[in-house]
Structure 1
């Protein structure tokens, strides 16, 4: 998984409680719910945020240059 940017976010306790309630109804963590809400707000304002490409899995290809 790509590295995530971590930072402190100060919220009004009432806003945090509302986010937690919404997250619970949508089976998400509060953190994931905040990201969903931010993406929706950006999209509504015409700002496209493309998801980061997932990391490649498995073994790297064999190096045949040394043969």
Structure 2
């Protein structure tokens, strides 16, 4: 599994509350929800790195 790189993310309060609620609705942590959303956006855009075999 690739290592994770920490970074700060600034969101306005309303957006953060919406992400937190969405995460709770899907039984994920807020961080897990943000990772999921970014992953799905990268996949949809065809920008995920190729997997090494």
Q: TM-score range by the shorter chain?
A: 0.7 to 0.9
Q: How many positions carry a matched residue from both structures?
A: 51
Task: List alignment gaps of at least 5 residues for structure 1.
Answer: 52-67
Structure with larger Rg: 1
Specify which structure has the higher proportion of helix: 2
Q: TM-score, normalised by structure 1?
A: 0.65
What's the C-alpha RMSD, in Å, of the aligned pairs?
Answer: 1.9
Q: TM-score, normalised by structure 2?
A: 0.80
The 5-angstrom pairing of residues 1-67 of structure 1 reads 2-49=2-49
Structure scoring higher RCO (CA < 8 A, sep ≥ 6) equals 1
